[in-house]
Structure 1
Amino acid sequence: MDIHEILQYLPHRYPFLLVDRVISCEPGKNIVALKNVTINEPFFGGHFPHHPVMPGVLIVEALAQAAAILSFKTMGTRPDDKSVYYFVGIDGARFKKPVSAGDQLTLEVEITRSVKGIWKYAARAKVDGVVVTEAELMCTVKAL
Protein backbone atom coordinates (compact mmCIF):
# COMPACT_ATOMS: atom_id res chain seq x y z
CA MET A 1 0.00 0.00 0.00
CA ASP A 2 1.31 3.43 -0.86
CA ILE A 3 0.53 6.57 1.13
CA HIS A 4 -2.63 7.29 -0.89
CA GLU A 5 -4.19 3.96 0.08
CA ILE A 6 -2.95 4.30 3.69
CA LEU A 7 -4.85 7.61 3.92
CA GLN A 8 -8.04 5.70 3.11
CA TYR A 9 -7.51 3.39 6.12
CA LEU A 10 -6.25 5.85 8.75
CA PRO A 11 -7.96 9.06 9.86
CA HIS A 12 -4.62 10.46 11.06
CA ARG A 13 -2.97 13.35 9.21
CA TYR A 14 0.18 15.45 9.60
CA PRO A 15 1.83 15.63 12.04
CA PHE A 16 0.34 12.45 13.51
CA LEU A 17 0.32 10.07 10.54
CA LEU A 18 3.14 7.63 11.35
CA VAL A 19 2.88 4.98 8.61
CA ASP A 20 4.49 5.75 5.23
CA ARG A 21 4.10 2.45 3.37
CA VAL A 22 2.69 -1.04 3.86
CA ILE A 23 5.01 -3.78 2.59
CA SER A 24 2.64 -6.68 3.21
CA CYS A 25 -0.73 -7.25 4.81
CA GLU A 26 -2.44 -10.59 5.31
CA PRO A 27 -5.91 -9.81 6.68
CA GLY A 28 -6.66 -11.76 9.84
CA LYS A 29 -2.96 -12.40 10.43
CA ASN A 30 -0.27 -9.72 10.14
CA ILE A 31 1.06 -6.55 8.58
CA VAL A 32 4.53 -5.16 7.85
CA ALA A 33 4.74 -1.39 7.38
CA LEU A 34 7.40 1.33 7.26
CA LYS A 35 7.89 4.67 8.99
CA ASN A 36 10.73 6.82 7.64
CA VAL A 37 12.14 8.94 10.45
CA THR A 38 13.52 12.28 9.25
CA ILE A 39 15.10 15.21 11.05
CA ASN A 40 12.07 17.25 9.91
CA GLU A 41 9.80 15.41 12.39
CA PRO A 42 8.12 18.05 14.61
CA PHE A 43 9.06 16.25 17.85
CA PHE A 44 12.83 16.39 17.27
CA GLY A 45 13.01 20.11 18.13
CA GLY A 46 12.16 19.35 21.74
CA HIS A 47 13.15 15.67 22.18
CA PHE A 48 16.05 16.39 22.53
CA PRO A 49 17.65 19.38 20.74
CA HIS A 50 21.19 18.23 21.59
CA HIS A 51 20.52 14.55 20.75
CA PRO A 52 17.30 14.02 18.70
CA VAL A 53 15.52 10.77 19.66
CA MET A 54 12.06 9.61 18.54
CA PRO A 55 9.79 9.40 21.60
CA GLY A 56 8.96 5.80 22.50
CA VAL A 57 5.28 6.63 22.80
CA LEU A 58 5.28 7.65 19.11
CA ILE A 59 6.91 4.36 18.11
CA VAL A 60 4.09 2.57 19.94
CA GLU A 61 1.59 4.86 18.18
CA ALA A 62 3.12 3.94 14.80
CA LEU A 63 2.65 0.27 15.69
CA ALA A 64 -0.97 0.98 16.67
CA GLN A 65 -1.60 2.72 13.36
CA ALA A 66 -0.25 -0.32 11.51
CA ALA A 67 -2.54 -2.46 13.69
CA ALA A 68 -5.50 -0.25 12.72
CA ILE A 69 -4.82 -0.79 9.01
CA LEU A 70 -4.61 -4.55 9.64
CA SER A 71 -7.90 -4.51 11.58
CA PHE A 72 -9.78 -2.51 8.97
CA LYS A 73 -8.42 -4.75 6.19
CA THR A 74 -9.48 -7.81 8.23
CA MET A 75 -12.99 -6.40 8.78
CA GLY A 76 -13.25 -5.37 5.14
CA THR A 77 -14.13 -1.78 6.14
CA ARG A 78 -12.58 1.67 6.35
CA PRO A 79 -12.82 4.28 9.09
CA ASP A 80 -15.63 6.81 8.87
CA ASP A 81 -16.86 9.82 10.80
CA LYS A 82 -19.26 7.66 12.83
CA SER A 83 -16.60 5.63 14.64
CA VAL A 84 -13.12 5.91 16.09
CA TYR A 85 -10.32 3.38 16.60
CA TYR A 86 -9.06 3.54 20.21
CA PHE A 87 -6.14 2.14 22.16
CA VAL A 88 -7.51 0.22 25.16
CA GLY A 89 -4.29 -1.29 26.47
CA ILE A 90 -0.53 -1.56 26.15
CA ASP A 91 1.29 -4.36 27.94
CA GLY A 92 4.93 -5.33 28.12
CA ALA A 93 6.23 -2.29 26.24
CA ARG A 94 10.02 -2.38 26.02
CA PHE A 95 12.28 0.19 24.40
CA LYS A 96 15.53 -1.54 23.52
CA LYS A 97 17.37 1.03 21.41
CA PRO A 98 16.90 4.74 20.58
CA VAL A 99 15.50 5.68 17.17
CA SER A 100 17.16 8.65 15.45
CA ALA A 101 16.70 10.76 12.35
CA GLY A 102 17.63 8.76 9.26
CA ASP A 103 16.33 5.47 10.68
CA GLN A 104 13.59 3.51 8.96
CA LEU A 105 11.21 1.73 11.32
CA THR A 106 9.87 -1.60 10.16
CA LEU A 107 6.57 -2.09 11.95
CA GLU A 108 5.53 -5.73 12.40
CA VAL A 109 2.13 -6.43 13.92
CA GLU A 110 0.24 -9.70 14.20
CA ILE A 111 -3.25 -10.34 15.50
CA THR A 112 -3.15 -12.65 18.51
CA ARG A 113 -6.85 -12.45 19.37
CA SER A 114 -10.09 -10.69 18.52
CA VAL A 115 -13.01 -11.13 20.93
CA LYS A 116 -16.16 -8.99 21.25
CA GLY A 117 -14.65 -6.08 19.34
CA ILE A 118 -11.36 -6.02 21.29
CA TRP A 119 -8.32 -6.72 19.14
CA LYS A 120 -5.05 -7.89 20.67
CA TYR A 121 -1.72 -7.74 18.83
CA ALA A 122 1.93 -8.66 19.22
CA ALA A 123 3.91 -5.72 17.86
CA ARG A 124 7.59 -5.06 17.12
CA ALA A 125 9.44 -2.13 15.61
CA LYS A 126 12.82 -2.81 14.05
CA VAL A 127 15.63 -0.71 12.59
CA ASP A 128 17.98 -2.56 10.24
CA GLY A 129 16.53 -5.88 11.45
CA VAL A 130 17.18 -5.12 15.14
CA VAL A 131 14.19 -4.87 17.50
CA VAL A 132 14.00 -1.37 18.99
CA THR A 133 10.53 -1.57 20.55
CA GLU A 134 8.07 -4.34 21.35
CA ALA A 135 4.69 -4.42 23.05
CA GLU A 136 1.34 -6.15 23.26
CA LEU A 137 -1.40 -3.78 22.09
CA MET A 138 -5.17 -3.83 22.53
CA CYS A 139 -7.52 -1.68 20.46
CA THR A 140 -11.21 -1.38 19.63
CA VAL A 141 -13.50 0.43 17.23
CA LYS A 142 -16.22 2.45 18.96
CA ALA A 143 -19.28 4.04 17.42
CA LEU A 144 -19.63 7.78 18.10
Structure 2
Amino acid sequence: MNAVDIDIRKILKLLPHRYPFLMVDRVLELEPQKRIKTLKNVTMNEPYFQGHFPGHPVMPGVMILEALAQSAGLLTFGADMERKENSLYYFVGIDGARFKQVVTPGDQLHMTVSVERYIRGIWKFKAFATVDDKVACEAELMCTVKQAD
Protein backbone atom coordinates (compact mmCIF):
# COMPACT_ATOMS: atom_id res chain seq x y z
CA MET A 1 0.00 0.00 0.00
CA ASN A 2 1.29 3.44 -0.88
CA ALA A 3 1.73 6.06 1.81
CA VAL A 4 -0.19 9.18 0.81
CA ASP A 5 -1.37 12.27 2.56
CA ILE A 6 -4.85 13.17 1.37
CA ASP A 7 -6.01 15.90 3.71
CA ILE A 8 -9.44 17.18 4.70
CA ARG A 9 -9.63 19.65 1.77
CA LYS A 10 -9.39 16.82 -0.76
CA ILE A 11 -11.75 14.61 1.27
CA LEU A 12 -14.36 17.40 1.18
CA LYS A 13 -14.11 17.40 -2.62
CA LEU A 14 -14.69 13.64 -2.76
CA LEU A 15 -17.34 12.98 -0.11
CA PRO A 16 -20.66 14.85 0.12
CA HIS A 17 -20.71 14.56 3.95
CA ARG A 18 -20.27 17.67 6.09
CA TYR A 19 -20.13 18.52 9.79
CA PRO A 20 -21.33 16.93 11.97
CA PHE A 21 -21.42 13.81 9.80
CA LEU A 22 -18.01 13.78 8.13
CA MET A 23 -16.09 10.95 9.83
CA VAL A 24 -12.75 10.89 7.97
CA ASP A 25 -10.04 13.47 8.69
CA ARG A 26 -7.18 12.12 6.58
CA VAL A 27 -6.18 9.35 4.18
CA LEU A 28 -2.88 7.83 5.31
CA GLU A 29 -2.35 5.02 2.81
CA LEU A 30 -4.02 4.13 -0.46
CA GLU A 31 -3.90 1.50 -3.14
CA PRO A 32 -6.75 2.74 -5.40
CA GLN A 33 -9.76 0.42 -5.58
CA LYS A 34 -7.90 -2.16 -3.46
CA ARG A 35 -7.07 -0.92 0.06
CA ILE A 36 -7.17 2.29 2.11
CA LYS A 37 -6.13 3.40 5.59
CA THR A 38 -7.79 6.50 7.05
CA LEU A 39 -7.84 8.45 10.31
CA LYS A 40 -10.57 10.01 12.45
CA ASN A 41 -9.49 12.12 15.41
CA VAL A 42 -12.16 11.60 18.06
CA THR A 43 -12.74 14.74 20.11
CA MET A 44 -15.07 15.73 22.91
CA ASN A 45 -16.53 18.29 20.49
CA GLU A 46 -18.46 15.55 18.63
CA PRO A 47 -22.18 16.35 19.13
CA TYR A 48 -23.19 12.76 19.96
CA PHE A 49 -21.11 12.79 23.16
CA GLN A 50 -23.71 15.06 24.82
CA GLY A 51 -26.07 12.13 25.13
CA HIS A 52 -23.84 9.06 24.62
CA PHE A 53 -23.18 8.96 27.56
CA PRO A 54 -23.18 11.97 29.92
CA GLY A 55 -20.21 11.62 32.26
CA HIS A 56 -18.83 8.64 30.30
CA PRO A 57 -18.53 9.58 26.62
CA VAL A 58 -18.44 6.62 24.20
CA MET A 59 -18.46 6.90 20.40
CA PRO A 60 -21.65 5.19 19.16
CA GLY A 61 -21.03 2.01 17.19
CA VAL A 62 -23.11 3.31 14.30
CA MET A 63 -20.73 6.28 14.00
CA ILE A 64 -17.73 3.93 13.86
CA LEU A 65 -19.52 2.01 11.10
CA GLU A 66 -20.21 5.29 9.30
CA ALA A 67 -16.50 6.17 9.49
CA LEU A 68 -15.72 2.78 7.94
CA ALA A 69 -18.36 3.30 5.24
CA GLN A 70 -16.99 6.75 4.36
CA SER A 71 -13.50 5.25 4.15
CA ALA A 72 -14.88 2.57 1.84
CA GLY A 73 -16.49 5.31 -0.25
CA LEU A 74 -13.11 6.97 -0.71
CA LEU A 75 -11.72 3.63 -1.83
CA THR A 76 -14.17 3.43 -4.76
CA PHE A 77 -12.48 6.35 -6.53
CA GLY A 78 -9.97 5.54 -9.24
CA ALA A 79 -6.28 6.39 -9.20
CA ASP A 80 -7.08 9.99 -10.18
CA MET A 81 -9.10 10.43 -6.94
CA GLU A 82 -11.67 12.57 -8.73
CA ARG A 83 -15.42 12.50 -8.03
CA LYS A 84 -17.78 12.32 -10.98
CA GLU A 85 -20.29 15.15 -10.82
CA ASN A 86 -23.64 14.16 -9.26
CA SER A 87 -22.37 10.76 -8.10
CA LEU A 88 -23.41 9.65 -4.63
CA TYR A 89 -22.17 6.75 -2.57
CA TYR A 90 -24.83 4.65 -0.84
CA PHE A 91 -24.40 2.16 1.97
CA VAL A 92 -26.49 -0.90 0.96
CA GLY A 93 -25.59 -3.59 3.47
CA ILE A 94 -23.57 -4.72 6.45
CA ASP A 95 -22.68 -8.17 7.71
CA GLY A 96 -20.74 -9.49 10.68
CA ALA A 97 -20.39 -6.20 12.55
CA ARG A 98 -18.59 -6.74 15.85
CA PHE A 99 -17.59 -4.17 18.46
CA LYS A 100 -14.58 -5.17 20.52
CA GLN A 101 -13.65 -2.09 22.55
CA VAL A 102 -15.00 1.37 23.28
CA VAL A 103 -13.81 4.48 21.48
CA THR A 104 -13.62 7.64 23.58
CA PRO A 105 -12.59 11.29 23.16
CA GLY A 106 -8.85 11.62 22.61
CA ASP A 107 -8.60 8.38 20.63
CA GLN A 108 -7.35 8.20 17.08
CA LEU A 109 -9.55 5.85 15.11
CA HIS A 110 -7.64 4.17 12.28
CA MET A 111 -9.80 2.58 9.58
CA THR A 112 -8.46 -0.07 7.22
CA VAL A 113 -10.75 -1.11 4.39
CA SER A 114 -10.05 -3.55 1.56
CA VAL A 115 -12.09 -4.46 -1.50
CA GLU A 116 -13.37 -8.02 -1.40
CA ARG A 117 -15.16 -7.81 -4.75
CA TYR A 118 -17.05 -5.62 -7.20
CA ILE A 119 -19.98 -7.24 -9.04
CA ARG A 120 -22.86 -5.58 -10.95
CA GLY A 121 -22.35 -2.17 -9.39
CA ILE A 122 -22.04 -3.43 -5.79
CA TRP A 123 -18.77 -3.12 -3.89
CA LYS A 124 -18.09 -5.47 -0.97
CA PHE A 125 -15.45 -4.50 1.59
CA LYS A 126 -13.76 -5.97 4.66
CA ALA A 127 -13.31 -3.18 7.21
CA PHE A 128 -11.54 -2.75 10.55
CA ALA A 129 -11.38 0.20 12.93
CA THR A 130 -8.56 0.20 15.47
CA VAL A 131 -7.39 2.32 18.38
CA ASP A 132 -3.80 1.85 19.52
CA ASP A 133 -3.52 -1.21 17.23
CA LYS A 134 -6.46 -2.92 19.00
CA VAL A 135 -9.57 -3.74 16.95
CA ALA A 136 -12.53 -1.60 18.04
CA CYS A 137 -14.88 -2.70 15.25
CA GLU A 138 -14.89 -5.02 12.26
CA ALA A 139 -17.52 -5.58 9.57
CA GLU A 140 -18.22 -6.47 5.96
CA LEU A 141 -19.78 -3.52 4.14
CA MET A 142 -21.64 -3.31 0.84
CA CYS A 143 -22.00 -0.10 -1.12
CA THR A 144 -22.92 1.28 -4.52
CA VAL A 145 -22.28 4.51 -6.40
CA LYS A 146 -25.23 6.09 -8.21
CA GLN A 147 -25.91 9.30 -10.07
CA ALA A 148 -27.98 11.79 -8.06
CA ASP A 149 -31.05 13.39 -9.61
TM norm structure 1: 0.95
Q: Structure 1 vs Structure 2: percent identity of aligned residues?
A: 62
**Matched residue, 1:25:** 30
Matches of 1:42 and 1:68, distance apart in 2: 23
- Deviation readout 1:88-111 (Å, 9 max, x if unpaired): 100000000010000000000000
Where does structure 1 lack aligned partners over 5 or more consecutive residues? Answer: none
> What pairs with 1:71-82 in structure 2 (closer than 5 Å)?
71-73=76-78, 77-80=82-85, 82=86
Q: 1:119 to 1:75 in 2, by over 3 A?
A: farther
Looking at secondary structure, tell me which structure has more helix per residue.
1
**Matched residue, 2:74:** 69
**Matched residue, 1:4:** 9
Q: How many residues align?
A: 143
Amino acid at match of 1:58: M
Asked whether the equivalents of residues 34 and 106 of structure 1 are also in contact (C-alpha less than 8 Å), the reply is yes
Q: 1:139 to 1:46 in 2, by over 3 A?
A: same
Asked whether the equivalents of residues 109 and 130 of structure 2 are also in contact (C-alpha less than 8 Å), the reply is yes
**Matched residue, 2:96:** 92
Aligned residues: CA RMSD: 1.3
Where does structure 2 lack aligned partners over 5 or more consecutive residues? Answer: 1-5
> What pairs with 1:24-63 in structure 2 (closer than 5 Å)?
24-63=29-68
Detail structure 1 runs of 4+ shifted over 2 Å in the superposition. 73-77
